[in-house]
Structure 1
């Protein structure tokens, strides 16, 4: 059970939703590891709540695919599988390509300045060896600036929802320090294309960015599988 697991209270939300959000973020950020068992009594004691909101939260997490119910064993954090990762990244590629092309039409000078700042903050986080959560949040902010420039509320909503599912894969990608230099270069390529309002180059740059992420995560999953076989 994660030592850092702490409930994140919100006076505007029912307790069951607070517990759900707390556990959800713990899984997405890797505080609760894939394959780790989720025992209601232990979680309830750790969070200082009754078992009922924990049970309800686990059921909702199962619906989102973040938790699996194993017969005669109980709940555990879902593993990161190849199929799930490929499904999520396939959808992300299509939506992000649409987003950067829309952004080419609408991005303002102020948003371009914000994008450059976000790019620099992400680069600084990687080069200074900040923790994975800080790096992942900086990466998300870079993409959020692009998304906000689309002026497409439905697209923003869809990618924001997908972003939550992407968080686990983003963290997995950032663990490999060999990818950091490439990530910085890819962000620069995306930003340059947006500055020139070049839809073709922007679309190509985002596809390369996501394809490299997919390749890196697949390599990581393969290495883990090989280690488990030893």
Structure 2
């Protein structure tokens, strides 16, 4: 476990929260790693009280799992977690895209999205998986914010945190990266054109197929076809991509 000391003059619980979140999102704190208040307090050089507050917030955001006053672990997605995250993202981010495409000031965010997409392509060429994942997150965060729907943004906050950890592993696959970035360009075009139905459809497809690729590569055999979330996810995949997620394909 590596937790970098980056404490400044802001409240201690806020400093601990920022430091721990950065270490989780960067992968310095690895998925599934067990953490204790005492251990984190010693590493950060502060008391356990602000650490507990930081841990409580990170549990609320879905990045840590467990009881805040006991040991917790860094969120480590299994097959069902990934299916849940991507099914929810597909529906809600599709809605966000549909709303964003209806805005009259679309250039205020589409130009920035295009810039992020180009930066991601450069990082992909350099095989910098961490930065590609970050740029991917920036792209989707901007898309969601562009919806102008605060409730939607709030609903997606914990889902986006968990999705980042899921994406971090998928961004190490160059084929997946190429497909994802190509789809980003298609999404931007629909937004620029103000094609709301098509933008919503493309984003639903983009998110669903990203989850499908991840599940097939890492977790396909873990899925139980009788599980409602698997059945619902399969329904979305069939509707949006016409591709069947078979348990015998990895």
The TM-score, its normalising length taken from structure 1, stands at 0.80
Gapped regions of structure 2 (runs ≥ 5): 223-250
What corresponds to 1:17 in structure 2? 14
CA distance, structure 2, for counterparts of residue 191 and residue 162 of structure 1: 22
Equivalent of 2:39, from 21, 31, 42? 42
* 1:172-215 deviations in Å (ceiling 9; x for gaps): 22122221110121111111111221122212211221112111
Mapped contact 2:120–2:135 kept (Cα < 8 A):
yes
What corresponds to 1:111 in structure 2? 109
Equivalent of 1:169, from 159, 166, 174? 166
What corresponds to 1:228 in structure 2? none
Mapped contact 1:100–1:147 kept (Cα < 8 A):
yes
- Pair 8,90 (structure 1): closer, same or farther in 2 beyond 3 Å: farther
- Pair 85,145 (structure 1): closer, same or farther in 2 beyond 3 Å: same
CA distance, structure 2, for counterparts of residue 22 and residue 200 of structure 1: 40
- Pair 104,74 (structure 1): closer, same or farther in 2 beyond 3 Å: closer
- Pair 220,53 (structure 1): closer, same or farther in 2 beyond 3 Å: farther
What corresponds to 1:193 in structure 2? 190
* 1:115-134 deviations in Å (ceiling 9; x for gaps): 222221121221222241x2
Q: Work out whether 1:206 is the aligned partner of 2:194.
A: no
Q: CA RMSD in A?
A: 2.7
Q: Work out whether 1:139 is the aligned partner of 2:112.
A: no
